[in-house]
Amino acid sequence: MKESRLCSMLGIEHPIILGGMGGISDGSLAAAVSEAGGLGTIASMSYTAEELKAEIDKGQSLTDKPFAVNVSLLRPDAGDLIEAVLEKGLKTVITAAGSPKKFTAALKDGGATVMHVVANVSMAMKIAEAGVDAIIAEGTESGGVASREEITTFTLIPQVVDVVDIPVVAAGGIGDARGYLAARALGAEGVQVGTIFLASKECQTIGDVYKHVLIEADDAATGIAGRGAIGLRMIKNAFFDEVEKAAAEGKSGGELFQFMESKMGAAAKDADNGAFVCGQVTGMIREIRPVKDIIRDIVDGAESALKELN
């Protein structure tokens, strides 16, 4: 398979990135993914700057390999989080939401590689002009916040690849070797995956109930709750219906998120009344596996599938 520029850019063995899942992608899970040859990511969403530093310290105590931090640029303290990342000497930052123009120069001056998450072609073009090093193009199949356009990964990736010269990472709906190989065939130089790592032994920020829900889910188990207000892909259950009802009553995105916050991540302990955020790929999950096995199966399986195609 064609060598990916991402590997040399990020200092990793396999172009597989852990998605920054708020309240879930912590230092331990990030370190496990990096130790297995991918790029781990700490999601900063649930941390203050000082808490993020502590989480980075934890990750660095578990691996000497590179990992990233994901930062939402809509946070009022985004600058403080970025300063924390640079202070700790991390070399990769994944920004999302908002424009990276304000921070990209400072990050690159600090020696960091910058990747930004986009959901459509026009956004990709603007972000490339802002000077980022790579783009993560995320389709609507992914868990968490869904774009208003709801463009699928299969159609989004080749269109983004056609208009930018920097590496493109595919995200959304990728859960095994076949998805990885398809993403590479579409022109992506790597993949970002989250849901499959929820179903890993090293993911300790969620409980057994969450993992059981993932295993039991089928292809139609997820939906986008609160379209037009928050638009969050999660498991359809009784709580999903409550969110839909609140959205129909005119609750704002902020109000809906506050409503959901106490039922997300580690707090999702009831199969009917928890907010189980995950992507459509959850229908492919049938067991809990070590991170190293997940990554090995993706890489080895893709090579085998490519040989069969040839």
pLDDT band at residue 188, thresholds of 50, 70 and 90?
A: very high
The DSSP secondary structure of 32-49, one letter per residue, reads HHHHTTSBEEEE-TT--H
Q: What is the pLDDT of residue 125?
A: 95
Q: What is the mean pLDDT of the chain?
A: 93
As a whole number of angstroms, the distance between CA 146 and CA 225 comes to: 9
CA–CA distance from 203 to each of 62, 160, 207, 265 (Å)? 14, 31, 9, 11
Mean pLDDT for 20-36 is 96
Which residues, 6+ apart, have CB-to-CB distance to 46 below 8 Å?
A: 22, 23, 265
Edge-to-edge strand order for the sheet containing 67-72? Answer: 16-18, 190-193, 168-171, 134-138, 113-118, 92-96, 67-72, 40-43
pLDDT at 208 over 90: yes
Token pair of 165 as six digits: 């010269």
pLDDT at 205 over 90: yes
List the domains of the chain with CATH numbers. 5-203+287-309 (3.20.20.70), 218-277 (no CATH)
DSSP helix/strand/coil, 27? helix
pLDDT at 1 over 90: no
pTM of the model: 0.94
Q: Which is more confident, 107 or 62?
A: 62
8 A C-beta contact, residue 109 and residue 76:
no
As a whole number of angstroms, the distance between CA 206 and CA 260 comes to: 16
